[in-house]
Structure 1
């Protein structure tokens, strides 16, 4: 258990107890493998039924970015993420803007979990209005986090294993059905990757959606101070991306063979499942009520655990921002003396999550990807700034390839995906970015003052009264 307070402020450090596979497991758990089924319908529609190709393109982009994350985690072996690397390699103000943009991810991820849970429960209880599930879920999660901010890493590992076992069973059942003539009736086909009518523009648009599935691999960097040795971090990051991508590719490939036309998820033109989660319907079609229940249970449990973790993370980041005067300290830096939790931040996150009543998973995923792709682009750029510019490692072909060409390719690829985001997400994201720049001008008095950082696990400064439990 880690507690912020006088002991931490005086130099207490995190215990280096996590090995390579423990960190990889945490990263995969954060990624939630079952999300491939949640977004399958919308990606199949957007790509004209080549979901695996969209995942393959996204995986290639993520590998380049993961390599850059690995380089930066080795150079700056401290807890943090994109804004930490950008702040240290380029400029604190640039880091602030990347961090501000990343707030979209943090603030909306709890809403995504709420949307997925709503879809599951609507499929099981179609007569109950969806808004009721949103309210009940938000009240449940908010209450738990309000009372205690205990971590869920051990639970996440159990849920991860359970989810993967269920996915293996699903693939086995699909194989049996394909051999029996269901779907396209064969186990080996190029159709899920290419057929007439597929365009690169559509594939890239679908890839921006599935990038949402990979969000979480970058969270591995926040375990840098708990790794047994910082040297394992680059491998842990890359393995998380590769293994997660392999899971998505395999599940997406066999799902596409089984469901070659996305219209099966929109009977009578009803786009509910396509725009939200197709997981319950996939389970129903492949294995009837039993598999639907098991697959939904796996997705439900993993999503709930992710929801608790993301809700707590948002509250913790807002607390740090408040305690360091990035946000109004009296409000966002408040700790309830009875519960030892940042109650205002927790309730605010719960209220924002209730907006899931009016949004679809497709739209919220697009907004999240806006912030994530900008952060990924910035990390690739930070490799060039840190190694090639600051350290001058650009004189040999090897250094040029490692510290300019590789991150340059990653930056271009993430930029291409960013440019193919949904128009509404681009407009909303740009507005959020402009607001962040205006706020930066205000808190720095037009760049006359230094801007404070707001890493999620950064020690909370000026805090010496009430301990907050952030196990």
Structure 2
């Protein structure tokens, strides 16, 4: 199970906490850890919904499978189509970020060289098999956590020696000027840090005893991520209660790294950020290829390509290659646009997974009984309420692009169902 947990943590990219700290600190007036507490609680409720669905339907399609099995095959297709935005665009973003990081260190080498090299490396590693991807990601995640621990130690030393503008207090969690509205606003931004905790559900058919390991792994990934984010930002916020004192709010974390450890630690910190990008890109390509495999196996995507599995390596090779080629769009991609699309796809998946649990309970209420209402009714309803709130945090660009993608999916659905005269094709899953 721990191998799955590490893969999920790699996808979630623990170093994302450093990317958003400055902006959210300014937004919440120095209460980033408090915002992380709110969003962690919200995500844990959705993680419970994913766990219940993974236990009931241990198949590779994640939200696509859950909506298809509990609500309708037509809606399931649209949910899977929307979720593709999250899965397909994340490898592009990681490829783009790899170019940004490495070009800063090696400005004489063209950006395209780094992007192409990045895509080639993660594609080859994923084709080699799930064991290779998991082993690499385990090492990458361990390295990120070690750098983060060193970051915390150096930050604590700086606070004790008075090198920053603050001291150890509980103000990052609660102070007299705290605003609940601003905390929720910050939480909506910090939701990005958790994207990927659900990705391991796409590996249900490759895991040992998936009905137990996948639900536990999902919850552990969300919990570990939340604790990690809260801890790191608590120390950072105590060192700099007011981030306006920094020269660059958007680049607050690298600046703090240089302040607490000098140029040498800033270089180590940058290595951790680059490792995070590689690990996330590797895990994203792994999960995206499995989601497309589930849709290809059903026949809602061309089966000959997307439903193919390599006999020896047991990997969806064609899907991995396709996603690798798609990731090369990072050569022309705008980071803001891609991020907006990821948010739309992720929040769609979160919404319908929570709804799927509720619908499953309503359909099987006589069997489950009122004693199961809390787990199958109340908890997913709380998760759904938080997710609906997150929808309101999406910017206009995300809504426009997301719904445009959804319209294309609806046209595809009309074609494969012959104008809704037939059901979408579905793979007959047979237990061995």
Specify if TM > 0.5: yes
Report if aligned partners of 2:204, 2:214 keep a CA contact under 8 Å in 1: yes
Q: 2:285 is matched with which residue?
A: 311
1:241 pairs with 2:214: no
Report if aligned partners of 2:126, 2:286 keep a CA contact under 8 Å in 1: no
Deviations 1:227-257 (A, max 9, x none): 3473344333222211110001111222222
Q: 2:73 is matched with which residue?
A: 92
1:450 pairs with 2:423: yes
Report if aligned partners of 2:299, 2:426 keep a CA contact under 8 Å in 1: no
1:241-280 matched pairs, under 5 angstroms: 241-263=222-244, 267=248, 274=250, 279-280=253-254
Gap change, CA 1:367 and 1:93, over 3 Å in 2: same
Q: Secondary structure of 2:347's match?
A: helix
1:28 pairs with 2:9: yes
1:410 pairs with 2:383: yes
TM-score (norm 1): 0.79
Structure with a larger share of its residues in helix: 2
Report if aligned partners of 2:118, 2:278 keep a CA contact under 8 Å in 1: no
1:44 pairs with 2:5: no
Q: Secondary structure of 1:327's match?
A: coil
Gap change, CA 1:374 and 1:335, over 3 Å in 2: closer
Q: 2:34 is matched with which residue?
A: 53
1:219 corresponds, among 193, 199, 209, to: 199
Gap change, CA 1:227 and 1:334, over 3 Å in 2: closer
Report if aligned partners of 1:111, 1:355 keep a CA contact under 8 Å in 2: yes
TM-score (norm 2): 0.85
Alignment partners' CA distance in 1, 2:289 and 2:214: 26
Gap change, CA 1:289 and 1:233, over 3 Å in 2: same
Q: CA deviation at 1:190?
A: 1.2
Q: CA deviation at 1:297?
A: 1.7
Gap change, CA 1:234 and 1:132, over 3 Å in 2: closer
Alignment partners' CA distance in 2, 1:117 and 1:214: 20
Report if aligned partners of 2:310, 2:317 keep a CA contact under 8 Å in 1: yes
Gap change, CA 1:42 and 1:125, over 3 Å in 2: farther
Aligned length, in residue pairs: 428
Report if aligned partners of 1:366, 1:421 keep a CA contact under 8 Å in 2: yes
Q: CA deviation at 1:360?
A: 5.5
Alignment partners' CA distance in 2, 1:239 and 1:345: 28
Alignment partners' CA distance in 1, 2:50 and 2:391: 18
Q: Secondary structure of 1:66's match?
A: helix
1:293 pairs with 2:274: no
Q: 2:184 is matched with which residue?
A: 204
Q: Which runs of 5+ in 1 are unaligned?
A: 1-17, 268-272, 460-471
Q: 1:161 is matched with which residue?
A: 142
Q: 1:71 is matched with which residue?
A: 52
1:152 pairs with 2:125: no
Q: CA deviation at 1:375?
A: 0.9
Report if aligned partners of 2:200, 2:287 keep a CA contact under 8 Å in 1: no
Alignment partners' CA distance in 2, 1:32 and 1:303: 7
Give runs of ≥4 in structure 1 deviating > 6 Å. 333-337, 339-344
Report if aligned partners of 2:126, 2:282 keep a CA contact under 8 Å in 1: no
Alignment partners' CA distance in 1, 2:21 and 2:415: 43
Q: 2:397 is matched with which residue?
A: 424
Alignment partners' CA distance in 2, 1:341 and 1:79: 13
2:412 corresponds, among 429, 432, 439, to: 439
Report if aligned partners of 1:326, 1:443 keep a CA contact under 8 Å in 2: yes
Q: 1:468 is matched with which residue?
A: none
Gap change, CA 1:64 and 1:315, over 3 Å in 2: closer
| CA RMSD across the alignment | 3.5
Deviations 1:28-76 (A, max 9, x none): 2332212211332343344444322332221111111111122222222
Alignment partners' CA distance in 1, 2:12 and 2:29: 25
Q: CA deviation at 1:441?
A: 1.1
Q: CA deviation at 1:162?
A: 2.0
Greater Cα offset, 108-117 or 349-358 = 349-358
